[in-house]
Structure 1
């Protein structure tokens, strides 16, 4: 007897926008910076024509389109245009230096770059370092003061010009669901950047995780402000989740100051907003100074650094909202856990529970599962259909023999299944939701002739979560000024990586192994 079977239906990401266009076609996508307003139906049609243009530029399924852009309608169009025809979207962080970005672009062999206006110097530097880039597409029109980048031998296009010349309908989703859909490099790893590839299937499943009632639980009635950058692990998945349910999307562009966000929330009737805590601190600071209320806003979804309890209380009380905290990683697509909107008690250190489809495991240092998974502290490992198995371009798996990915975090899980991150096995510093790699700062400062030893540790900061502190042991008889130390870093690391404080020690504390004792440094100077 033939047992029968369901229809083949590949889990490809174009289906989210196509669904929104067909069933929620009049719902809007609004970009704050340029006051641009479109509908899902119009965005889908324009994205599909852009797919044809990208194919005309010579892109093929399996290749990468890089984007260096803010949260705008045009950026979203690029995503669906690329992904719809099997081209992976490689998001780049404009806050990193050209040298950092060039390592990623060269590894991904990018030939086409889409960039927001206002980033001309970074675009020029990146193109100069990446000879494979043959086309640069300016995605949106900024202020008249924005310079047009000199892209040397590459062809420069404006998005509307590219559509006028090469725009054509294209067939979406005509490929396997395991094709790459996105590539995001995590700056939170030591050494060279590590790329995380998202497939259509993994992002489709991740979207299903987000839409569970105890996670984000979005509906077609919601108006969602996406203040988390789209270059941060696919904007936490909002560009997929919002159209999947037909929620109105509000994209802030490059203006994320408190006044701009308050105006967007009020004008567009935002009900749900997502971003790192520092963004919302700027919002409440503005409201306290200028006055005003935001009655439409019901929920804030926070990620990035741990949220101080005092800040979470202030946000809930001043805005009259429910705050949902979360934990995730680029390697998880990125959701690992989130507090439900219906949670009876809210504690900032709690990151919530994992959605169905993500599993957590606490182990000892050797990877052996703790006998009691509740209450004890262990090394956190994760498994699921949206969790990395192998980094981009690497042959070795990133998972253990049991298929578990080691996050490098230390954590506890309480009796109710709530996850709390208690520390990081690595020395990385998370500032305002962004990773800072101490090793890079230490290598530069340690190379100065006046410095014997250098170390960087994180110090708790009310606004940014953590900020770096530079600790140096000068060479015998040598003196080095703060300005000389900071000057050595400027231009070689991003400005926001620069240490907030500098400490000089006559002798750097060393552990028994002879390495710098960072545990002691954190206790004394963190």
Structure 2
């Protein structure tokens, strides 16, 4: 057989050759015009930007950081770097400068590419990170006028200026498929963030995984909305998967509010929308308030945290779609399991099966595989071609001697192989020497129609060590009493698991990944 390196430039090459007129669309917000480019033109611009990166001195293995929203310009920057073997280190604009600076210094990023509205944060990073020699301000719809000069010693380029000045056609590929492709740091919600380095091969194989019929099942007829940010584990692989099949690809820019997404979905006739549950809650609240409909939408894929059945039902009823749950993490590139769109009946509280190439098992507290693997709770372990082996900058492996990675999740795999995440091992509450699993309480309360978001955390207790407290955000224009909440739990969990207090918050704190920030809840209520 011919040698054929599994490098990521091949996805945009394929799209440009076989789907040249299919568009990548960038939303400009509610009422604003969208930016448009076809795959052929996106590849051409990316190639010229590759030549410009090479002229700046970037070579195989060097790293650039991107501090940007989902846009055509961000995607061009990705492929320009990946095509010549430069590593894309995606940064989350919602993190503070101090934490971002620590990541950039560890990665020794040489170029910082930013969305125009991130200039002030870029100033702080340039001042704190000696490795940054160039700042690239991305061309985004309605954004050029927002870009003040970036102070400091770094040379500042506008994207089109850099292409016009140094752009040249560059040869893509020609390097080993095991070369580094991307760097993404974990959220750090349970400790210091750790870097995960993806290779071209691992991301290529993950792309093939998510395209399977029982996974995301994307095709050329689809219009795919990536509401998950590109800085969340490579946007769940969507910037690779959409061009791989020639799907029309819709990016919301920095506008992920309900009104902007509703307008974008309706205008572009989106068929598949992908993102965390909180995004779809905002969309539904907007539609409920305005009476709008989105008839083109067929499927919504959710990830980030376990999704209560009540929220699943609400999404399916209000949007008239099939909702698919999924589970994954940064260390898995990130997809671990997806519930098939064809599953009947719908999988309540479950996240489906893994694709070929990803293996799961449950283990005891010491990491030994449980003798019985179905229908019992254990610590979830994973191995596969797109699973981390060791963290960036670490010498010691993140896996055990057999190659299994401990996810930190507690899980049950049912008789049909469907995964249900039942909690985080670090979230367990030890009360009087016995364990309470917050996930079981959250699943019951989260299924109540009046409950929007819910979390259970441990509070320090003089006698019992810890006791559970329940923190909840009620759904818009709805309310529920403490007695109704207690009644829902009565008889379904042990009496000593009952929360000591029920706390209502106007807005649940969310981590920058869109998940409930239990670290913040523990700091305030624990």
Q: Which band: TM-score by shorter chain?
A: 0.7 to 0.9
Please give the alpha-carbon distance, in whole angstroms, between the structure 2 residues aligned to 1:385 and 1:359. Answer: 10
Q: Return the offset for 1:426.
A: 2.2
Q: 1:29 aligns with which of 24, 28, 40?
A: 24
Aligned to 2:252: 252
Distance 1:497 1:190, change over 3 A: closer
Say if 1:336 and 1:354, in contact at 8 Å, map to a contact too: yes
Q: Return the offset for 1:232.
A: 0.1
Please give the alpha-carbon distance, in whole angstroms, between the structure 1 residues aligned to 2:375 and 2:210. Answer: 26
Please give the alpha-carbon distance, in whole angstroms, between the structure 1 residues aligned to 2:123 and 2:151. Answer: 6
Distance 1:144 1:11, change over 3 A: closer
Say if 1:325 and 1:348, in contact at 8 Å, map to a contact too: no
- Alignment deviations for residues 323-359 of structure 1 (CA, whole Å, 9 cap, x no partner): 0000000000000001000010224420111011100
Matches within 5 A, 1:63-102: 63-102=62-101
Say if 2:190 and 2:519, in contact at 8 Å, map to a contact too: no
- Alignment deviations for residues 364-412 of structure 1 (CA, whole Å, 9 cap, x no partner): 1111111111000011000100000011110000110111001011100
Say if 2:339 and 2:347, in contact at 8 Å, map to a contact too: no
Q: Return the offset for 1:144.
A: 6.7
Aligned to 1:240: 240
Please give the alpha-carbon distance, in whole angstroms, between the structure 1 residues aligned to 2:49 and 2:178. Answer: 23
Say if 2:189 and 2:517, in contact at 8 Å, map to a contact too: no
What TM-score, normalized by structure 2, do the two folds share?
A: 0.82
SS in structure 2 at match of 1:118? helix
Please give the alpha-carbon distance, in whole angstroms, between the structure 2 residues aligned to 1:150 and 1:303. Answer: 36
Q: Return the offset for 1:143.
A: 4.5
- Alignment deviations for residues 405-452 of structure 1 (CA, whole Å, 9 cap, x no partner): 01011100000111001111124999xxxxx9x9xxx9xxxxxxxxxx
Matches within 5 A, 1:348-427: 348-427=348-427
Task: Provide the aligned length of Structure 1 versus Structure 2.
Answer: 453
CA RMSD of aligned residues (A): 2.7
Aligned to 1:332: 332
Please give the alpha-carbon distance, in whole angstroms, between the structure 2 residues aligned to 1:498 and 1:162. Answer: 42
Q: Point out where structure 2 has 5 or more consecutive residues left out of the alignment.
A: 429-437, 440-454, 477-515
Moved more, 121-130 or 414-423: 121-130
Matches within 5 A, 1:438-453: none
Please give the alpha-carbon distance, in whole angstroms, between the structure 1 residues aligned to 2:469 and 2:81. Answer: 40
What TM-score, normalized by structure 1, do the two folds share?
A: 0.82
1:153 aligns with 2:153: yes
Distance 1:25 1:418, change over 3 A: same
Distance 1:460 1:207, change over 3 A: farther
Aligned to 2:176: 176
SS in structure 2 at match of 1:38? strand
Aligned to 2:10: 15
Distance 1:341 1:497, change over 3 A: closer
SS in structure 2 at match of 1:372? coil
SS in structure 2 at match of 1:188? coil
Aligned to 1:163: 163
Distance 1:499 1:390, change over 3 A: closer
Could you list the runs of 4 or more consecutive aligned residues of structure 1 that deviate by over 6 angstroms after TM superposition? 453-458, 495-498, 500-504
Please give the alpha-carbon distance, in whole angstroms, between the structure 2 residues aligned to 1:191 and 1:501. Answer: 14
Please give the alpha-carbon distance, in whole angstroms, between the structure 2 residues aligned to 1:183 and 1:458. Answer: 36
Distance 1:119 1:19, change over 3 A: same
Distance 1:416 1:463, change over 3 A: farther
1:124 aligns with 2:119: no
Please give the alpha-carbon distance, in whole angstroms, between the structure 2 residues aligned to 1:325 and 1:281. Answer: 15
Q: Return the offset for 1:149.
A: 4.2
1:308 aligns with 2:303: no
Moved more, 277-286 or 14-23: 277-286
